[in-house]
Structure 1
Amino acid sequence: MSARLILQLAAFLGALGVGIGAFGAHGLRPMLEAAGRFDTFETAVRYQFYHTLALAAVGVLLAARPELRGLGLTAGLWLGGMVLFCGSLFALCFTGYTKLGAVAPIGGLLFIAGWISLLVAARQL
């Protein structure tokens, strides 16, 4: 994955995170609280932002040091984590389908694998 693509994805996911977070905090809060899902929603938004910021940092690092090819793997793992972890929590909040919560740990493992991938890539510095 190229530095340009990583940074573009980070920019998109950051904008999406702001939009989803604001919509949830203002427009959907009563519905989320009534369903007992506001904390779940906040967790999904928070993890999306953490990993979006980290993704942007990886994009900048890869632009500066293109030989660190392992950073593309890091980005891919974090993207997969966002889709599975954050996506399943968002879907759970909006649908109430509790079996979607079983997907979140897989996304969490992808997040962890991404951080380990970053550790391995950083050893090349």
Structure 2
Amino acid sequence: MSVPIKPLVFVVAALASPAAQAQLLGPTFESNITLTRADLDMLRQTVIQQIHGKPVGTTASWSNPDSKNSGTIKLLKKFTARNMRCEEIGYTLVTTASAVSPEHYVLDSCLQPDGSWKIL
């Protein structure tokens, strides 16, 4: 199942819990970006396992052979905000709709007291 999503919402959706993803990924969003649920899970796991807490400059990639969607993720900066450890992360998506022109996003997320990461 493919999920069309707003460009600036995709990472929030990808990093959210499955319940929150269901709320964010309703059928009302329109975009050239179309990611499957498996794509979102791969993106989320890549950030959690290979980016958060790593040195600045760390890069990771994900690829879904079923949807033919892929992406790269790079830890751009670490900083403190509201007394929380935060990271600025760059995302590049290559989807079947954006293969000629990959789409780029930068979002900040901060480590919460419960150990989860929250998009600012």
TM-score by length of 1: 0.30
Select the structure that is richer in strand: 2
TM-score by length of 2: 0.31
Select the structure that is richer in helix: 1
